[in-house]
Amino acid sequence: MASKEEGSSRSTNPALDPDLNNPDNPGLVFAQFAAGCFWGVELAFQRVEGVVKTEVGYSQGHVHDPNYKLVCSGTTDHAEVIRIQFDPNVCPYTNLLSLFWSRHDPTTLNRQGNDVGNQYRSGIYYYNDAQAQLARESLEAKQKEFTDKKIVTEILPAKRFYRAEEYHQQYLEKGGGRGAKQSAAKGCNDPIS
């Protein structure tokens, strides 16, 4: 039975609850990022040694069980996110943070390139205090590279993750976008388009 204290941290809106899922195997850890359209972000993380699984979806909004069309309407406040399962003995969380910063412009509010809307915002959504601390430290370090712009990346606890529709999963690896399959092989550094 849940204690009174535990019950009080849960919302009546499931979308606002923490992400309480567990990784597929013991020893794996979750990470969650928003960095614009989730297709290219996912492919970049798929290529990382130690990343065991990637899923794209929606999080940080206020609507339970959203879909792509609803998220794109701008009314749910969800971000397009990638949730990663990784082995921290092979891939430290700091490696994931480095890739996150390299994949997008963290100084543009609610947009990445031609993709505009709050679903394309920059965010790091942490699962524990250690991830929160490392995320904040990485933001401070990255900010030093931008002397004339402020980073707008939000750093918040991971909320409930809603897996996106199946056609979005591994979209570029399956040949989505321009119709050519792109490699998700570990270590691959082919351009992502």
| Residues 152, 35 contacting (CB under 8 angstroms) | no
Distance, in Å, from the CA atom of 55 to the CA atom of 57, rounded to the nearest integer, reads 7
* CA geometry: angle 33, 42, 150, nearest 5 deg: 40
Indicate if 72 belongs to the active site. no
Residue 167 is encoded by which pair of tokens? 């056609």
| Residues 62, 162 contacting (CB under 8 angstroms) | no
Residue 118 is encoded by which pair of tokens? 């709050």
Amino acid symbol at 178:
R
Q: Which of 37, 72, 91, 188 is catalytic?
A: 37
| Residues 158, 30 contacting (CB under 8 angstroms) | yes
Distances (CA, A) of 22 to 33, 57, 59, 169, 170: 17, 16, 16, 19, 21
Report which DSSP code applies to 18.
Answer: B
Distance, C-alpha 34 to centroid of its chain = 4
- Mind telling me the catalytic residues? 37
